[in-house]
A = this chain, B = another copy of it.
């Protein structure tokens, strides 16, 4: 197996290039040029371009998932097997937001790569994301333990909306900055996490009574 030098040179060059320029216009030739290795090395070490991308994404997303589950476990243990709903949401969106937002995203290629992976949608990554359901189910289970009374569907919608806010903030961070003319501070990661968690909790807590048809005002029937 020798030194693995070539292999890791490809991985880091690829991650950096994909992070900077997106999956769309980075070719294997770009990667091997940046890594100073031979073109054939990619297929030798990874089998194919898609498997290279998959390995990059799997590595990073496993790390995020591990971090999420650690936070969840800590919160559940602190609460005697039952975590507060806010702590659950915090464990869900915190690691992702911390990884992809804030000043880190200028420095960490890993974070910038994950942003790319969330903006562009390329087949090998999509395949992996589809297998993420099992991971999310663990959070659904924790929510069920935390809020035994709530309707199942409400829990899933809460989970879904929390992820929506987190991911959309990552995806559209530039547009939000431009739209708000800098008023929304995208560098205050902790503040953003607080905001997302707060809204998620409210969505779950507030929708309780009017769960079925939460209409606030009469609306025209159109």
Contact = CB atoms under 8 A, between A and B. Distances in A.
Interface in A190-217: 191, 194-195, 197-199, 201-203, 206-207, 210, 213-217
Number of copies of this kind of chain in the complex: 2
A11 interface: no
Interface string A146-168: 00000011001101110111011
A216 B201 contact: yes
Contact of A169 (B90, B123, B160): B160
A219 interface: yes
Given A179-B133, A183-B152, A194 B213 contact: yes
Contacts of A210: 198
Contacts of A152: 180, 183
5 A-B pairs with least C-beta separation? A164-B168, A198-B214, A156-B180, A199-B203, A153-B183
Interface of A: 24, 84, 86-87, 90, 119-121, 123, 129-130, 132-133, 136-137, 140, 152-153, 156-157, 159-161, 163-165, 167-169, 172, 175-176, 178-180, 183-185, 191, 194-195, 197-199, 201-203, 206-207, 210, 213-217, 219
